[in-house]
Amino acid sequence: MYYDSVENKHGLKHDPFKALVAPRPIGWVSTVDNDGVLNLAPYSFFNAVSDRPHYVMFVSAKRKDSLRNIEANGEFTCSISTMDTRDGMNISSAPVEALADEFALADLETAPSHFVKPPRVARAPASLECKHWKTIELPDVSGDDGHFIVIGQVIGIYIDDAVIKDGIVDTASFRPLARMGYMDYAVVTPETAFSLGRPQVQEDGSVKIPEGEWDGVYR
């Protein structure tokens, strides 16, 4: 099939776009409002977008509590959602009133951050502490409130020592969640994770993929 994605006339039961751009990491964003009320919400349009310095971004559909708090206070955290915390992540996505504390609603304990005011999810194996850099508004075809790209610089990182093995984070060991389309999710496991060596160009111009385990050298 082929269809005009601007008009969105796909003829299917639901828009397939998010089922195709998948899986997507989940940004479990924690913020604090001016009165100290905590807010926690998962965002599936989330990713790391640069290195040195580290920047992450997430997209808010309309001006939700996370965006308002970040623009007011300039800080947020992104906790990593895992298979073990999937229920808490799901509950924290409920469209409750602005004064509701999603940590309490989802029965999640907080842990203090080191460099920003918003806390992290205590059970999360890792968390990124971020300073707001910029919000970019995207034009909306329906003329509604639109979508907003929130970009933050990562100024502090928490990692549970239990997931660091031989000086490297064992990502698959904590089974991070990812979002797909519809109501579907995916999970990374030790059984599904694998490594591929970076291709190396030979003197004759051919390309060779190294065999065996990674030698620990970035190329």
| pLDDT, position 212 | 80
Distance CA 81, CA 152 (A): 19
| pLDDT, position 139 | 82
Statement: 17-208 belongs to CATH 2.102.10.10: no
Residue 135 has pLDDT above 70, yes or no: yes
Distance CA 96, CA 101 (A): 9
* pLDDT one-digit tens code per residue, 183-193: 999 999 999 99
Bigger pLDDT: 114 vs 62: 114
Residue 143 has pLDDT above 90, yes or no: no
* Angle ∠(206,210,215) on CA atoms, nearest 5: 140
Cα–Cα nearest to 48, from 157, 197, 163? 157
Q: pLDDT above 90 covers what percent of the chain? A: 73
For the whole prediction, is pTM greater than 0.85? yes
* Residues present in the chain in total: 219
Q: What does the pLDDT average to over 75-98?
A: 94
| pLDDT, position 69 | 96
**Left, alpha or beta for 203 (phi > 0: left; psi -120 to 50: alpha)?**
alpha
Give the list of residues 6+ apart from residue 36 with CB closer than 8 angstroms, or none. none
**Left, alpha or beta for 98 (phi > 0: left; psi -120 to 50: alpha)?**
alpha
Confidence of residue 141 (pLDDT cuts 50, 70, 90): low
Q: Where are the beta strands (DSSP E) in the chain?
A: 24-25, 27-32, 38-43, 46-50, 55-61, 75-79, 110-111, 120-121, 126-138, 147-159, 164-165, 168-169, 177-179, 185-187, 200-201, 207-208
The domain limits of the chain are: 17-208
Residues 22 and 178 sit within 8 Å (Cβ to Cβ): yes
* pLDDT one-digit tens code per residue, 171-217: 999 999 999 999 999 999 999 998 888 888 888 889 988 888 877 78
Rg of the chain over all Cα atoms, to the nearest angstrom: 20
First-last CA distance in the chain: 40
